[in-house]
Structure 1
Amino acid sequence: MWRHRVLGSVALLLLLLTLVQPFTLNQIAEDAPPPLGGIEDPPGPEKVYGGIEDWPGAENDLGVVDLAHFAISEHNSNTNAVLEFRKVVKVKQQVVAGWMYYITIQVNEGGAKKMYEAEVWERPWLDFKELVEFRPAEGASARA
């Protein structure tokens, strides 16, 4: 008799788990925090994982501005240049072994506004960031 009660209880428990599990997983996905650094994935239905994506609105993100300052500082120390940060104009990102950021930056160069493109690779969980490339922006207007 007690075996039937135990088997019935187990069956009822399994039935409840199969009904509740999909709702629980959906709730976990909805409540999940953004990735490290508070940086959220850019919106868009055309998301291609591993592809380079525009990140509208990230121009004022403090983490991105910090990466832009880092890129200018590294460039200045590597080339003895004296570029001064003005603002971030455009941001793209790519998921790699970490994140690759493609940042268009407006700078002061000898009193003139100029545009540069920086590629910065970041792996925040390893406290790692590296300036991969820093070059003048092609076809970009300094008035942006």
Structure 2
Amino acid sequence: MRKHHRGLGSVAAPALLLLLLLALVLPSTQTQSQKQSARETAAMAAEPARRLAGGIVESPGRENDLHIVGLARFAVSEHSSPLPLLNLHSRNTPLELEKVVRVKEQAVAGRLYYITIQVDEGGAKKLYEAKVLEQLWLDVRKLVEFRPAEGASPNV
């Protein structure tokens, strides 16, 4: 019976040591978790528009992003392409992309990009607003809207 008793003692000692270690480590882990949570809360408060699911968010600095420029080129190309069934062009004067002026994004069933672009239209610089829907998992890219920008100066 003594052998059995010693066996229990040899199992209980490592288990007790493990519990003591957990008691020392657990409080510091909770403190780090609480600090991370506080940082996330502060970041959310700093960007209220991003907290709103589906909200339109400014994307400063993305004007030269190759993906965004590609979407702008796609929008100009789609707008200038022949209309189906009628075999007509949507515009008489071809548009040439000059630059992306402004970008906004919205999370929808995919991503909806609001892109303000400057184009050369027969020698004149004009601003247009394009809405492009992208659903990468479906391999979908669709021009939703393309219209002249309201109240915007082309000398941006």
Same fold (TM over 0.5): yes
Worse-matched range after superposition: 6-15 or 132-141: 6-15
- Structure 1 letter corresponding to 2:130: A
| Cα displacement (A) at 1:58 | 1.3
For residue 151 of structure 2, give the secondary structure of its aligned residue in structure 1. Answer: coil
Alignment counterpart, residue 59 of structure 1, candidates 63, 66, 78: 63
- In 2, the alpha carbon distance for the partners of 1:17 and 1:128 equals 47
Deviations 1:46-93 (A, max 9, x none): 333321111111111111111100111111115523211011111111
- In 1, the alpha carbon distance for the partners of 2:144 and 2:99 equals 20
Paired residues in the alignment total 129
* Runs of 5+ unmatched residues, structure 1: 31-43
| Cα displacement (A) at 1:122 | 1.4
Q: What residue is the counterpart of 1:142 in the other structure?
A: 154
- In 1, the alpha carbon distance for the partners of 2:130 and 2:146 equals 4
For residue 58 of structure 1, give the secondary structure of its aligned residue in structure 2. Answer: coil
Q: What residue is the counterpart of 1:86 in the other structure?
A: 98
Percent identity, please: 53
For residue 94 of structure 1, give the secondary structure of its aligned residue in structure 2. Answer: strand
* Runs of 5+ unmatched residues, structure 2: 1-8, 41-45, 84-88
- In 2, the alpha carbon distance for the partners of 1:51 and 1:72 equals 25
| Cα displacement (A) at 1:98 | 2.1
- In 1, the alpha carbon distance for the partners of 2:106 and 2:56 equals 5
Worse-matched range after superposition: 2-11 or 100-109: 2-11
- In 1, the alpha carbon distance for the partners of 2:100 and 2:114 equals 11
For residue 63 of structure 2, give the secondary structure of its aligned residue in structure 1. Answer: helix
| Cα displacement (A) at 1:111 | 1.9
Structure 1 segment 1-144 matched on structure 2, within 5 A: 1-12=9-20, 14-15=22-23, 16=25, 19-20=28-29, 23=32, 26=36, 45-47=47-49, 48-49=51-52, 50-79=54-83, 80=89, 81=91, 82-144=94-156
- Structure 2 letter corresponding to 1:72: V
- Structure 2 letter corresponding to 1:11: L
| Cα displacement (A) at 1:7 | 3.0
Task: Tell me which structure has the larger Cα radius of gyration.
Answer: 2
| Cα displacement (A) at 1:100 | 1.0
